[in-house]
Amino acid sequence: MLDQGLKFLGNGASANIERFEEIYLGVGQKAVAKTDTALESMITADVYGGVETLTPTHNVVWDGVSGKYMARQQVVKKFGPFTSSQNITELGLGGHSGNDVFMITRALVKDATGVASVLTVRKDFFLTITYELVQVWDISEATYKVQADVKGAGKEINVTSKLCDVGITGFQGINTQVTRFFADVEAFGGGIGTTITDHPSGERVTMDTGKGRWLFDENTLTSTATVSVQFSSIAAGFADGVKALRLPTTRGIWQVGLLDAAGKGVELAKDDTFEVEVSVQYERYDEEI
């Protein structure tokens, strides 16, 4: 994954392309650097003849045994018939706008042992390539404390956040939109779910929050969505306050627990508002998948 690819996936608007849907072939042999912005030497249609898009796949997989949660997206292309015999040594995934090509990945062709190699396609033959991009989610639970002004008094709130509804909704797939709320925030009278496949429990009310604001920090590769939540009379009337929120964003569905030292939620008046912020950071995944 190239640096500009991480920025594109995190921001969704850092390049003049809407999505990654093309595979590009080349004959370059220099080592891949994360700062690359293009193939070293791209070949064009006058060599490979034509290109056909075959049926891709896009699925989200939660493996409770290994504890890995992954979104897999494939781009499948059939090149040919080649107009002449051609060696191929590099390829990449990206998209284009007019004549401008934007690469999100670059890789060298390698043999089974991982050594850089050459793939030769003969004249009049075809080459089908399946390029799979895998996104691995961090499923750990984050805990921290915030100081809140509740009904005019300061109170320490224990905050717990993690993914929710994993395997139920498609918005935890590989998404190239900006990070934003795609639906309204929900407040709950019960706590957050036990696992990331659950969601908060108890009384539930949806609040009109809109899409909010968004920001992407290219230095830290952090995508942030912020929304103002105004509590309705129902949510404000929960017996033990609002104990959890469900936050639906284009970078996953999240659940956030809000409890004080006594195990009660946040008690708010009908028209009270507060800001909710969701930040997602991108990095390369170097472990075995």
**Tens-digit pLDDT profile for residues 23-46:** 999 999 999 999 999 999 999 999
Percent of the chain, pLDDT > 70? Answer: 91
Instruction: Give residue 213's pLDDT.
Output: 81
**Tens-digit pLDDT profile for residues 164-211:** 988 765 556 676 667 778 888 899 999 999 988 899 999 998 887 766
Residue pair 145/156 in contact (Cβ under 8 Å)? The answer is yes
Domain range summary for the chain, segments of one domain joined by +: 3-136, 142-281
Does the pLDDT at position 265 exceed 60? Answer: yes
Of residues 109 and 134, more confidence is placed in 109
Rounded CA-CA distance 211/227 in Å is: 7
Residue 12 CA: distances (Å) to CA of 21, 178, 179, 232, 243: 14, 5, 8, 33, 32
In whole numbers, what is the pLDDT of the chain averaged over residues?
86
Burial of 145 (0-12, 13-18, 19+ CB in 10 A): exposed
What torsion do the CA atoms of 22, 78, 34, 133 make, to the nearest 10 degrees? 80
Rounded CA-CA distance 41/54 in Å is: 25
What's this model's pTM, rounded to 2 decimal places? Answer: 0.82
